[in-house]
Structure 1
Amino acid sequence: MSTVTTESGMGTTNWRPLAYAGSAIVLIGLLAIALPFATGLAVTYLLGGLLVVGGIAHAGHAFTTRDWKGSLWQATLAGISIAAGLLLFVNPIVGLASLTLLVIAYLLVDGFAELALALQMAGEAGRGWIAASGTLSLILAGLLWAGFPSSAAWVVGFVVGASLLATGISMIAVAYRGRSAGEDMTPPATSPRGA
């Protein structure tokens, strides 16, 4: 099967995976928005678990290479990681406040990255959607900072959900725009013989 390539480089048969992935991200974003506190707690516990596992890995490395000069630093990182992970398990509300600050940082980086990508996409399909998604991330970061810390209990889940929703919508828009551009380039069907 051959594909017709559009100006943006997206073939007419390659738009579907992007549209499906965008749809899945939209659904996950809507679920996170509908259950913001549960989403925030889930993120807190997940991060706590990852920190504990990472701390154990650091500790294992520190004790298996005792003659290595960096083993003291590995042991220190292990202790800090395990302590931070356990703190998130013991007091997830403090974890949510900390995660709120991390979400602000994430949204700032995401927003600037999407705006930079939109600038590089001059003349390509979906540029406006990518720019809108980046702008929304920056606005959400500003609103989150303005409401900190009182809104930390629900904002983590809501902001993550809104960002996922905007990203999913932009992916779907780019996919369908690529499909439409590919259809415009599809050669017309030939008439049957004997017609």
Structure 2
Amino acid sequence: MLPSQSSIDTKLSAALQKAMYDHWRLFLAEGIILALLGLGAVIVPPLAGLVSTIFLGWLFLIAGIFGLLFTLRARQAPGVLWSALSAVLALVAGGLLLWNPLQGLVTLTYVLTAFFIADGILTIVLAIAHRRDLSGRWEWMLVNGVIDLILAGIIISGFPGSIAWVLGLLVGIDMMFGGAALIAMALDARKAAP
């Protein structure tokens, strides 16, 4: 005999609540760190945008180097050509971001706009799912998703003059709201014993 769907949902909800309760301190620590990093980015947005561009450039460059090394060592593996092309693409992207970080900042601002739109929609959907499964502070996640969509609108409306500061400022704001959402959910999970 199969258990009913409501019985499965109840067990899943209880398991999720227990997991949140068991790890609320980790969520709280992550939220605090995220909020503090976001505050730093808001205080100095041009620097935060440039640092983000350079950091991403190094990540791509290192990923491309290791991708090529591993591809060359596995020359007989299937898909080696595609793997090599992917590694070269990462090398080129990293090199371009490091060669001209200011131009990279422009490109990343466009990518950030797309990210905020996608992340906003997904966070809103996740908040609605949390509302059904975990009642504690799902509203904060919903607000975070709406803020992401608002930030995307701000970027789009301010081009091209806002490129110098928008990346650092908006990433900082997003990190602060994401941190606040994690803090609120962690504190609520702490109070609600399973």
- Cα deviation for residue 72 of structure 1 reads 3.2
Q: What is residue 72 of structure 2 aligned with on the other side?
A: 63
Q: Residue 36 of structure 1 is aligned with which of 30, 38, 45? A: 45
* Percentage of identical aligned residues: 34
Aligned pairs, number? 179
Q: Residue 156 of structure 1 is aligned with which of 162, 167, 180? A: 167
Note the 1:165-184 alignment, pairs <5 A.
165-182=176-193
Aligned letter for 2:43? Answer: A
TM-score (norm 1): 0.80
Contact kept? 1:61, 1:71, Cα under 8 Å? no
Q: What is residue 83 of structure 1 aligned with on the other side?
A: 92
Aligned letter for 1:41? Answer: L
TM-score (norm 2): 0.80
Deviates more, 1:115-124 or 1:66-75: 66-75
Aligned letter for 1:132? Answer: V
Alignment partners' CA distance in 2, 1:172 and 1:69: 46
- Cα deviation for residue 7 of structure 1 reads 10
List runs of 5+ in structure 1 lacking aligned partners: 1-5, 186-195
Note the 1:96-175 alignment, pairs <5 A.
96-122=105-131, 124-175=135-186
| Deviation per residue, 1:35-76 (Å, 9 max, x gap) | 111111111111111111122123223433444563333333
| Deviation per residue, 1:149-174 (Å, 9 max, x gap) | 32122111111110110011111112
Q: What is residue 5 of structure 2 aligned with on the other side?
A: none
Aligned letter for 1:75? Answer: A
List runs of 5+ in structure 2 lacking aligned partners: 1-13
Pair 1:158–1:67, CA change in 2 (3 A): same
Give the aligned CA root-mean-square deviation in angstroms: 2.5
Q: Residue 101 of structure 2 is aligned with which of 92, 101, 104? A: 92
Alignment partners' CA distance in 1, 2:170 and 2:179: 14
**Larger Cα-atom Rg:** 1
- Cα deviation for residue 112 of structure 1 reads 1.3
Contact kept? 1:36, 1:157, Cα under 8 Å? yes
Pair 1:17–1:82, CA change in 2 (3 A): closer
* Higher helix fraction (1 or 2): 2
Q: Residue 9 of structure 1 is aligned with which of 13, 17, 23? A: 17
Alignment partners' CA distance in 2, 1:89 and 1:7: 46
